């Protein structure tokens, strides 16, 4: 009996998340929601600019984090359909700032996309340096791969519409040389993030 209890204790702790990992999931869920909400809102302002359709990929990212959180019994901090609403004050402030900038012009809106993706990568790099859970590491690598590709898409759009890249138009922080590989995110997916039948698990 003692051996069984010891084995159960080992198994539970093997798959448990640290408090820091739980906090990281909570934060990244809201950050992916921010990206989705920002792009959907700016896409409605500039309906002929297709790059803002990236919001559809952000739906997948938001829901993938939500599914991992539910797998570990972590409640969602806010419903995914509450556009522009966040429980984290920092992200609420950032969302408001980004929308205000994006309203000014198409150039500003595309720069917002650059800023969102660089911020995503910076935060994911930080959390990946601290994470030990294989699930969390795989999920965050998946999200980071998507942010690399999205950054490159917004940079190409900037060049197309303004004739200049982010490195020419923006501060040094936003000038990045991220790798691009179509479909790279699929290598990090786990079975319960994306059910094979019936689409994503709901996030409401």
For the stretch 109-129, pLDDT in tens is 999 999 999 999 999 999 999
Alpha carbon distance 109, 93 (integer Å): 17
pLDDT in tens, 160-204: 999 999 999 999 999 999 987 665 555 555 545 554 333 333 333
What span, in angstroms and rounded, lies between the C-alpha atoms of 79 and 123?
A: 22
Residue 99 CA to residue 34 CA, distance in Å, equals: 11
- The pLDDT assigned to 26 comes to 98
Percent of the chain at pLDDT > 70 equals 81
Residue 13 has pLDDT above 60, yes or no: no
User: How many Cα atoms are found within 13 Å in the side-chain-facing hemisphere of 158?
Assistant: 24
Answer for the pair 26, 69: CB distance below 8 angstroms, yes or no: yes
pTM attached to this predicted model: 0.85
Mean pLDDT of 63-84: 94
Task: Give the span between the Cα atoms of 20 and 4, in whole angstroms.
Answer: 29
Does 10 score more than 50 pLDDT?
Answer: no
DSSP SS3 for 1:
coil
Q: To 10 degrees, the CA torsion angle through 141, 132, 116, 184? A: 0
Q: Tokens for 58, please give them.
A: 């952000």
| CATH no., domain 18-188 | 1.20.1260.10
pLDDT band at residue 16 using 50, 70 and 90 as cut-offs: confident
pLDDT at position 80: 87
Burial 104-113 (b: 16+ CB within 10 A, else e): eebeebbbbb
- Quick check: 62 pLDDT over 90? yes
Q: What is the pLDDT of residue 20?
A: 97
Distance CA 114, CA 112 (A): 5
Residue 142 CA neighbour count, 13 Å, CB half: 24
At residue 7, the pLDDT reads 41
- Given a contact cutoff of 8 angstroms between Cβ atoms, the answer to whether 117 and 154 are in contact is yes
Lowest average pLDDT, out of 23-27, 32-36, 81-85, goes to 81-85
In this predicted structure, what is the pLDDT of residue 52? Answer: 98
Between 13-17, 48-52, 64-68, 123-127, the lowest mean confidence (pLDDT) is in 13-17
Integer-rounded Cα radius of gyration of the chain? 18
pLDDT of residue 200: 37
Is residue 159 predicted with pLDDT exceeding 70? yes
Q: What is the mean pLDDT of the chain?
A: 87
């Amino acid at each position: 009996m003692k051996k069984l209890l010891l084995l159960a204790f080992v198994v539970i702790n093997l798959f448990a998340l640290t408090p820091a990992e739980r906090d990281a999931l909570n934060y990244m869920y809201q950050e992916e929601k921010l990206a989705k909400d920002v792009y959907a809102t700016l896409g409605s302002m500039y309906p002929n600019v297709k790059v803002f359709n990236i919001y559809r990929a952000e739906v997948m990212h938001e829901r993938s984090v939500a599914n991992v959180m539910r797998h570990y019994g972590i409640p969602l901090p806010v419903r995914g359909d509450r556009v522009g609403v966040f429980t984290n004050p920092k992200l609420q402030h950032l969302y408001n700032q980004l929308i205000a900038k994006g309203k000014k012009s198409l150039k500003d809106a595309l720069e917002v996309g650059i800023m969102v993706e660089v911020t995503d990568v910076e935060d994911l790099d930080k959390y990946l340096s601290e994470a030990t859970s294989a699930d969390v590491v795989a999920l965050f690598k998946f999200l980071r791969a998507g942010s690399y590709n999205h950054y490159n898409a917004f940079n190409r759009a900037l060049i197309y519409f303004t004739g200049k890249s982010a490195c020419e138009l923006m501060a040094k922080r936003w000038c990045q040389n991220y790798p691009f590989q179509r479909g790279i995110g699929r290598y990090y997916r786990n079975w319960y993030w994306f059910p094979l039948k019936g689409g994503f698990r709901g996030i409401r």
